[in-house]
Structure 1
């Protein structure tokens, strides 16, 4: 069994409206030292696969097809083996 941790964020070239709203709120609260802010999504998946490589390929396909809008978002992930007892 494998566990994947997936992080999805807007690409650098895409304006993040939630992050901009938070930055504006911080400025209004007199918090002026925040230089940059990123809002994203986080997913954890547990999956069965024959190998680490197969699990990574499956997670990559899931991200491309469902978890991220590849036109506007980028993603990164880690996949690690877990013991059946932890699952």
Structure 2
């Protein structure tokens, strides 16, 4: 793992692990979409330069008088590309 891989969060499988075919992996990731999960996986648009996009809502905490209050959710997007 190189420095760029560490900075971008790229991870590689252990040796001997057989990768899934692209379409099987895509189907498995898209099957994660349920109504009771705080994220969704969708096909990317060309401008996103990815194959799939995973989006989730992150609730930020902010300081209030004597306790932490939940701030509005902010979307977080991660692009996924199969190589």
Shorter-chain TM-score tier: under 0.3
Q: Give the helix-richer structure, 1 or 2.
A: 1
TM-score (ref. length: structure 1) = 0.26
TM-score (ref. length: structure 2) = 0.26
Q: Which has the higher contact order (CA 8 A, sep 6+)?
A: 1
Q: Give the strand-richer structure, 1 or 2.
A: 2
